[in-house]
């Protein structure tokens, strides 16, 4: 079985849905499992619904209606007859969403987030599945929450691999087109969980591992994995083949083409991962597989924006030792700050972190009791794999360098725009 993943950009409108059909016609769809994200910017729109829900905003109903209107237009563009059963199926999902908003009693933001935001994937796959059937391709729609079982760490759930393996291997039918949702799972109480933002790639990796898949293909709007983001760097080059090790390093440092968790289950079973273009599906793209790293030593640039640089120093000029560092990291873990760079001296300790849950405002007073705390918001972290002087100069030009760290193969630079 082959596993394909289509992200939100590939199914953002009716033309995108039709293009998925065209891609499958060209590359084949028998014995394929499709993992599909929410359409376009639906996740962002549902996050607005969640915000309005907690703020008891008068905008709650209109924000739900906006999501409805967006999907209804796609339905009207795809199907001639409003009596097609897909309209009722999508309306049922919206009714479930509205019922939850009206009757939920939990004040837990992360729990509510997962229950609401999941409807993006449920609706997109429902529409895609019905369109494939409409076009003559028989499909099996799978509710991924019945297959990927997790703990109850809402918004960043951990997979119960044993239970997930048993469920997937027993219930996924082969020799047909299966369609399921990315990003989602469920806990032991069957409440919806999510695997972390952009977790649909990881979903594809989970299914591939459990099904001993032939390959995974992530369909993107780019030709494959590039050595730099073309939005920020001119003359970005396609990396036609990279090893699991190099891809994991790039994903760890923040390369957005592949989700960091995706590669680990694939590497264990040596399942190749392809990153290909849904615009030009017959192009070779990038293959990530077992191999030597000696073939691709050109500099690769990874950019992480909206970072927070925190510098802690001793109030009494005492050393910052292992005990202090352990305590600091425990707090970062507690407040869900993701550390992307570490640098320390005798009496100071600096970290570049991602504060996606905006918890630093609560952590800062705690840190300030023991340390002098300085911080810079909205900084950019550049990581250069296989760096050289020219690559470093490219990054540093017209910027203020706040911190630089160099190892054998990797240079990391924290900058602020001048």
Instruction: Tell me the two tokens of residue 64.
Output: 């739900």
Question: Long-range contacts for 83-86 (Cβ within 8 Å, ≥24 apart)?
Answer: 84/130, 84/134, 85/130, 86/126, 86/127, 86/130, 86/131, 86/134
CA 13 to CA 128: how far, in whole Å? 11
Find out whether 7 is annotated in a ligand binding site. Answer: yes
| Region class of 158: left (phi > 0), else alpha (psi between -120 and 50), else beta | beta
Find out whether 6 is annotated in a ligand binding site. Answer: yes
DSSP secondary structure code for residue 279 in this structure: S
Find out whether 327 is annotated in a ligand binding site. Answer: no
Instruction: Tell me the two tokens of residue 69.
Output: 């209107």
Q: The tokens 């939990």 sit on which residue?
A: 106
Find out whether 43 is annotated in a ligand binding site. Answer: yes
- H or E element in which residue 323 lies: helix 322-334
CA 225 to CA 299: how far, in whole Å? 13
CA 366 to CA 357: how far, in whole Å? 17
Find out whether 16 is annotated in a ligand binding site. Answer: no
Binding-site residue set for ATP: 5-8, 231
Binding-site residue set: 5-8, 43, 121, 231
Binding-site residue set for substrate: 43, 121
């Amino acid at each position: 079985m082959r596993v394909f993943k289509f992200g939100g950009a590939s199914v953002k409108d009716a033309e995108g849905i039709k293009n998925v059909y065209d891609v499958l016609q060209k590359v084949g769809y028998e014995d394929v499992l499709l993992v599909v994200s929410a359409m376009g910017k639906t996740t962002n729109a549902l996050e607005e619904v969640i915000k309005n829900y907690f703020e008891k905003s008068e905008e709650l109903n209109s924000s739900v209606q906006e999501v409805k209107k967006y999907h209804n237009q796609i339905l009207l563009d795809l199907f001639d007859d409003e009596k097609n059963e897909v309209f009722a199926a999508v309306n049922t999902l919206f009714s479930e969403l509205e019922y939850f908003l009206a009757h939920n009693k939990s004040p837990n933001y992360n729990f509510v987030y997962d229950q609401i935001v999941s409807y993006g994937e449920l609706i997109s796959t429902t529409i895609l599945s019905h369109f494939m059937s409409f076009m003559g391709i028989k499909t099996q729609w799978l509710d991924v929450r019945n297959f990927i079982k997790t703990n109850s760490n809402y918004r960043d759930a951990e997979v119960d691999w044993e239970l997930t393996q048993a469920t997937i291997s027993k219930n996924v039918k082969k020799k047909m087109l299966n369609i399921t949702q990315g990003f989602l799972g469920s806990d032991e109480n069957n409440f919806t969980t999510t695997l972390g933002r952009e977790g649909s790639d990881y979903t594809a990796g989970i299914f591939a591992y459990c099904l001993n898949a032939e390959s995974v293909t992530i369909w993107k709007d780019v030709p494959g994995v590039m050595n730099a983001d073309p939005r920020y760097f001119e003359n970005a080059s396609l990396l036609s083949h990279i090893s699991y090790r190099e891809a994991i390093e790039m994903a760890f440092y923040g390369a957005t083409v592949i989700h960091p968790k995706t590669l680990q289950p694939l590497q264990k079973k040596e399942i190749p991962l392809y990153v290909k273009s849904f615009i030009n599906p017959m192009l070779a793209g990038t293959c990530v597989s077992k191999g030597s790293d000696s073939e691709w030593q050109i500099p690769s640039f990874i950019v992480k924006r909206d970072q927070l640089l925190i510098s802690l120093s001793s109030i009494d000029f005492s050393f910052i030792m292992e005990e202090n560092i352990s305590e600091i990291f425990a707090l970062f873990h507690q407040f869900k700050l993701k550390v992307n760079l570490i640098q320390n001296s005798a009496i100071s300790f600096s970290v570049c972190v991602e504060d996606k849950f905006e918890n630093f405002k609560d952590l800062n007073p705690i840190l300030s009791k023991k340390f002098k705390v300085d911080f810079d918001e909205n900084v950019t972290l550049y990581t250069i794999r296989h760096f050289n002087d020219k690559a470093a100069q490219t990054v540093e030009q017209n910027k203020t360098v706040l911190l630089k760290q160099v190892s054998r193969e990797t240079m990391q630079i924290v900058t602020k725009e001048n």
